[in-house]
Amino acid sequence: MAENYHTKSHDQNGFQDAQVAVIMVPLSAQGHLNQLLHLSRLISSCNIPVHYVGATTHIRQAKFRVHGFDPLTAKNLHFHEFPTPPFENPPPNPNASHKFPNQLIPSFYAAIHLREPVCSLARKLLDANHRRVIVIYDSMMTWVVEDVPAIPNAECYQFNSISAFHTFSLIWEIKGKPLLAGTEVFEDIPSVENGGTTTKLWELWRKQESLMGKISSGELYNSSRVIEGLYLDLVAKEKDDLNLWAIGPFNPLLLTEQKKDSDKRHQTLDWLDKQEPDSVIYVSFGTSTSFSNEEIEELAIGLEKSMQKFIWVIRDADKGDVFAGEERRAQLPEGYEERIKGRGIIVRDWAPQLEILAHPSTGGFMSHCGWNSCMESISMGVPIAAWPMHSDQPRNSQLVTKFLKIGLTVRHWTRRDELVTSEIVETAVRTLMASPEGNEMRKRASELSDAVKQSVMDGGVNCVEMDSFIAHITR
Q: Which residues are catalytic?
A: 32, 138
Please give the Cα distance from 67 to 233 (Å, whole number). Answer: 31
Q: For residue 221, give the nearest of 210, 209, 229, 213 by alpha carbon.
A: 229
In 3-state terms, what secondary structure has residue 79? strand
Please give the Cα distance from 146 to 156 (Å, whole number). Answer: 9
How far from 29 is each of 55, 109, 137, 260, 327, CA to CA, in Å?
Answer: 12, 12, 14, 32, 17
Helix residue ranges per DSSP H, 71-142: 105-110, 115-127
Listed in sequence order, the residues at least 6 apart from 332 whose beta carbon sits closer than 8 Å to its beta carbon are 296, 297, 300, 314, 346
Instruction: Judge residue 6's burial from the number of C-beta atoms within 10 Å of its C-beta, 0-12 exposed, 13-18 middle, 19 or more buried.
Output: middle
Please give the Cα distance from 388 to 189 (Å, whole number). Answer: 11
Please give the Cα distance from 257 to 355 (Å, whole number). Answer: 9
Question: What is the identity of the amino acid at 420?
Answer: V
Please give the Cα distance from 438 to 384 (Å, whole number). Answer: 10
Let me know how long the chain is.
475
Please give the Cα distance from 112 to 90 (Å, whole number). Answer: 19
Q: Are the C-beta atoms of residues 89 and 321 closer than 8 Å to each other? A: yes
Please give the Cα distance from 459 to 164 (Å, whole number). Answer: 23
Question: What is the identity of the amino acid at 336?
Answer: Y
Q: Are the C-beta atoms of residues 456 and 5 closer than 8 Å to each other? A: yes
Please give the Cα distance from 18 to 47 (Å, whole number). Answer: 9
